[in-house]
Chains A and B, each alone.
Chain A
Amino acid sequence: MWLRKALSIIGPYPYNPTLIFLFFTAFYFSRFIPVIIDQPKGLMRYETAAIVLSLSVIPSFFFALLAQLVQKYRRWSSSNLLFYFLEVSFGQSVIIFSAPFIRKFLKSRYDFDYQAPLTLTPGLFFGSLTIVIIALGLMHRAERTVVNRLFAANELVSKLELDRQELVRADEAVRQQTSRFLHDRVQSDLMVVAMELKATAGKSTEEIDAVIEGAISRLERTRTNDLKDLVQILAPNFAVGGLTQAIQVLSKQYDTSMKIEIQVDDKSELLDQRELLGLFRIIEQSLINSLVHGPANRTVITVNTNSLGVIELVVSDDGPGALLTNVKSGTGSAVIDSWVSILHGKKTVDTVPGHGYRLVVNFPA
């Protein structure tokens, strides 16, 4: 058990060519630093540094290329430790071919004696191989830990996003139920009661008739003024008058505070129920923001669907605006973000102090 665990620390690991390239470039560069510092300060030293860096890149590039090729075309097992050792040994032997060239170059140009130990004796080759295996193990193990953590973080973000979408759906279901109850039962019953009362009018004294008349107007006021709009705001029925009418009903609430202008193109009115509801909810929250963080004098809402089927919602106001860095994330933003994610869209906010606020949401149909 412990042996297996110990061996699993050694390898094998899936190669990361970029990491291998960077590691070995840094390794060789550090080995050749004496060549650089031997040069006089100034341009000569910079030039040498550039040349040394190029020399370091040569073997590193071959290691990375080999790792890439083995990863792609390997016909043998990738989980066998012996094969892993053989692969790394083969990679390491590249030095046997590149070292003479580097040595010759450094000697002739900088009179520097470079000797790659692994090219000297088999013992040094295997010693060096052990160091490389350990280096690869540490490097890839660290990478694996980071990747695992990132993966866990991504999983968590996806789960949070799904939870948030689920909350939005549950909230919509309750709104739908309440709206239907208000429409089908409360509004209908108020109407029936008012009509029943009306049917009894004229059959009694004038005084009672006046009371009945008063009661009917009160019931009708509640039914047509308060309930009618509430039903549509709670859960808009887009079959009635489309997105435009649903936003118009919503905007009535802001009549005393700001002027709201709406433009929805014909194509956007044909979007499905979920998309229309998403647009409506984003607009609803944006109007609350325009009121709370303003108030703005005017807010303009436009919804357009282009020929590629991309829907664009723009809510723009002339409120006081803010520094973009100071735009805080509140409940409203959370609702908007949830809907943007449900619709697989993208949100852009633009605001400048004194020059209003503009929200743009794009999503594919």
Chain B
Amino acid sequence: MTTLGMRPTKLIYVENDSALRRILGQMLGQSPELDIVGSFGNSDEALDRSLVRKADVALIDFALDQNGLNGVELGIALRNINEYIGIVIYSQYSVSQMVARVPKDMRSGWSFFDKSADMDLDDYLSVIKKTSAGKGNWEEVSAQHGENVVSESAIFFLLTPRQRSIMSLSAQGKNPQDIALSLDLSYSYVRKELSRAYAVLLPDADQSSDLKTTAVLKFMELMRMS
């Protein structure tokens, strides 16, 4: 529903797939709340300065022409022409980490979403209009990633397999001589590897504390977590 007296949002639409540009363009064009001021197939055409200056928001596909700018780069270029323009990036690629590609001081008024045929005109309108008003969704999107990040227990993996085997025997109460004998290594090598393992397990260790006991306890704790 348009509010009486409110002018339609001026939209620039950039999509290199002509079929999708046509069909989505037609759908967006049905809304009286939108005025598509430019519809382009590549980044060069979209960088029309006078048009960009009068636009409120741009809907841009991330993967544009292979040798030109990508969607985020084009968004940044548009922002450099018109600092108030809202930028909406959509893509067949996952958009969750695209926010990181936008300079921090420029992220306000940026939105991202995955391309989907399930979206209705209202869904598009909602994102486009909010973004043109400066309310981008970049914070929600950037909060989505963060899976697979290295946990604290990954310190175990900083030890080499050799150090793990030495620490595991140390945790069984064996002294360096016994460990050297069991693993067919020299005594001095075992001592060196134990020191290196302690340094990995206890990077901030107080030299006055009982390094061996603390390191063995830490190693056993990590073994349980692994």
Contact = CB atoms under 8 A, between A and B. Distances in A.
Interface stretch (B4-12, B78-86, B147-155, B206-214): B147-155
B63 to A, nearest CB: 7
Contacts of B186: none
B92 interface: yes
Interface string B40-71: 00000000000000000000001100100010
Interface stretch (B16-24, B126-134, B173-181): B16-24
Contact of B157 (A216, A231, A300): A300
B91 interface: yes
A140 interface: no
Interface residues of B, number: 42
6 nearest CB pairs, A to B: A241-B97, A194-B117, A300-B157, A316-B157, A263-B150, A352-B161
A216 B117 contact: yes
B100 interface: yes
A314 to B, nearest CB: 8
A184 B17 contact: yes
Given A188-B17, A188-B19, A355 B161 contact: yes
A262 B97 contact: no
B116 A188 contact: no
A318 B17 contact: no
B92 A358 contact: no
A191 B117 contact: yes
A317 B97 CA distance: 26
12 contacts: A188-B19, A188-B92, A191-B92, A192-B19, A195-B24, A199-B23, A224-B116, A228-B94, A232-B94, A245-B94, A300-B157, A357-B161
A261 B93 contact: no
A240 B91 contact: yes
B205 to A, nearest CB: 22
B114 interface: yes
A216 B117 CA distance: 8
A143 interface: no
Contacts of A241: 93-94, 96-98, 100, 145
B118 A358 contact: no
Interface in A291-321: 297-298, 300, 302, 314, 316-318, 321
Nearest to A349: B161
Interface in A255-277: 260-263
A199 to B, nearest CB: 7
B110 to A, nearest CB: 15
A352 B162 contact: yes
A192 B92 contact: no
Nearest to A245: B97
Interface string A200-220: 000000000000000011011
A248 B97 CA distance: 11
Contacts of A298: 154, 157, 226
A45 B145 CA distance: 79
B192 interface: no
B98 A188 contact: no
Given A219-B117, A220-B117, 12 more contacts: A188-B92, A195-B27, A232-B94, A241-B145, A242-B100, A245-B94, A247-B148, A251-B148, A261-B148, A261-B151, A262-B149, A302-B150
B39 interface: no
A356 interface: yes
Contact of B62 (A217, A240, A297): A240
Contacts of A356: 157, 161, 164
B148 A248 contact: yes
Contacts of B157: 298, 300, 314, 316-318, 356, 358
Interface string A160-178: 0000000000000000000
Interface in A339-365: 350-352, 354-358
A350 B23 contact: no
B182 to A, nearest CB: 12
Given A228-B93, A245-B96, A261 B20 contact: no
Contacts of B24: 195
B145 A245 contact: yes
Contacts of A261: 148-151, 154
A34 B66 CA distance: 83
Given A350-B161, A352-B165, A191 B94 contact: no
A251 B147 CA distance: 11
A198 interface: yes
A87 interface: no
Nearest to A302: B150
Nearest to B92: A187
